[in-house]
Amino acid sequence: MERISSWLNRNSLYIALLAAWIAMCGSLYFSEVRGYAPCVLCWYQRILMYPLAGVIAIGLLRRDGNLPYYVLPFSLLGLGVSTYHYLLEKTDLFAGSSFCAQGASCTTQWINWFGFVTIPFLALTAFLLITLMSLIALLNGEPVAEDEEGDALRMPWLQVSGVVIGVLAVFTALFISGAQDPQVAAAEQNPFATLSVTPGAQVRVDGTVSDPATLVHGEQLYLQSCAACHGADGLGVANLGNQLRGSDFFASNTDEQLLAVIRQGRELNDPANTTGLVMPPSGGRPDLSDEDILAITQYLRTP
Ligand code: HEC
């Protein structure tokens, strides 16, 4: 136990450095390789996280005992923003908040690992780790610039560059493997790839649905969860989502087929991807039931 705590005391800011670099490279991986569109709140978190990657590295190199004081304002603010963002995604506490009404929606859950790990959750974890590690460093008065005899200590180049280069190497590999995915390239080159997906699908063009309550429910959910990318009218938004209402894809698929497509979403490397943009699983709303999504598809079949 004592050994762990003394190891932690000596290395707390290296752990913070590692967390900041993983968070920065990971967020760039999600947006640049996987194609997930960052929302306004994501950008605020980036503004607070990215400088830390540099500040912690330089502070460690210079053995600046004040480093925690430079880090904590950023990490605490970041912790606040990502907590807010996570609650926005997972609860109704801030329903009706006007954040991200346009562009990429802040409530879109691009990933939902184990049912709770979303991108803001990952950011929250990183900010929390950086905050805790800075507090440990603060309490210890580490790092020090001089040894007991008063001689200046050398800059810890090896440790700092080891962390940075290690993270960069892992993410460079991820970037290269993502960028060279042949299916991504194929999907980008073949705009008609989707046409072959649903041979013999049941055609329902008029979409007359008798139950008005379902349509109202569908409209509400559509406006909350899908309109940010597919447009309030369902006719699509440039660089966010394509046309749904009145599209050939809707005409040539049954509601059940649409349900399956919406549940799965479309990654960039999905052969059916036509836009080079990502459709998040369940439209980023894993909490929607099958009935909810079917209400949305029925609503979208109305003229
Ligand atoms: C963050 C943006 C975003 C959100 C939110 C979103 N979508 Fe999408 N959706 C997309 C993109 C981008 C595509 C196109 C993917 C492609 O190239 O095939 C798409 C494609 C689709 C398709 C396939 C259409 C076709 O012509 O291939 C359906 C159906 C669909 N979305 C339904 C929904 C529904 C229903 C919701 C809400 C529950 C929703 N989407 C929320 C971005 C989004």
pLDDT for the residue 118: 95
Q: How far is the CA of 87 from the centre of ligand 1 (A)?
A: 24
Q: How far is the CA of 178 from the centre of ligand 1 (A)?
A: 21
Q: Which two tokens stand for residue 73?
A: 């304002």
**Position in ligand 1 atom list of the atom nearest CA 283:** 41
**Position in ligand 1 atom list of the atom nearest CA 247:** 26
DSSP-assigned beta bridge partners for residue 237: 241
Quote the percentage of the chain above a pLDDT of 90: 57
Q: How far is the CA of 239 from the centre of ligand 1 (A)?
A: 12
Q: How far is the CA of 296 from the centre of ligand 1 (A)?
A: 12
Query: How many C-beta atoms surround the C-beta of residue 46 within 10 A?
Result: 18
pLDDT for the residue 291: 93
Q: How far is the CA of 241 from the centre of ligand 1 (A)?
A: 6
Mutate to test the pocket of ligand 1, among 279, 298, 302 (most ligand atoms within 8 A of CB): 279
Q: How far is the CA of 138 from the centre of ligand 1 (A)?
A: 47
Query: Domains of the chain, with CATH numbers?
Result: 2-180 (1.20.1550), 183-300 (1.10.760.10)
pLDDT for the residue 202: 32
pLDDT for the residue 179: 66
Residue located nearest, by CA, to atom 22 of ligand 1: 262
**Position in ligand 1 atom list of the atom nearest CA 221:** 38
**Amino acid code (one letter) for 112:** N
What gap in Å lies between CA 29 and CA 170, rounded to an integer?
Answer: 11
Q: How far is the CA of 162 from the centre of ligand 1 (A)?
A: 41
Looking at per-residue confidence, does 261 or 190 come out higher? 261
The arithmetic mean of pLDDT across residues 40-51, rounded, is 96
Q: What is the band of 188 on the pLDDT scale with cuts at 50, 70, 90?
A: very low
DSSP-assigned beta bridge partners for residue 279: 266
DSSP state of 275: S
- Out of 86-95, 172-181, 216-225, 243-252, which region has the weakest mean confidence (pLDDT)? 172-181
First to last CA, the chain: 67
pLDDT for the residue 180: 53
Residue located nearest, by CA, to atom 3 of ligand 1: 229
Whether 80 has a pLDDT exceeding 70, the answer reads yes
Q: Which residues line ligand 1 (CB under 6 A)?
A: 37, 104-105, 108, 194, 225-226, 228-230, 240-242, 244, 247, 249, 258, 261-262, 266, 272-275, 277-280, 283-285, 296
Q: pLDDT digits over 116-152, tens only?
A: 999 999 999 999 999 999 999 999 875 566 666 767 7
What gap in Å lies between CA 61 and CA 157, rounded to an integer?
Answer: 6
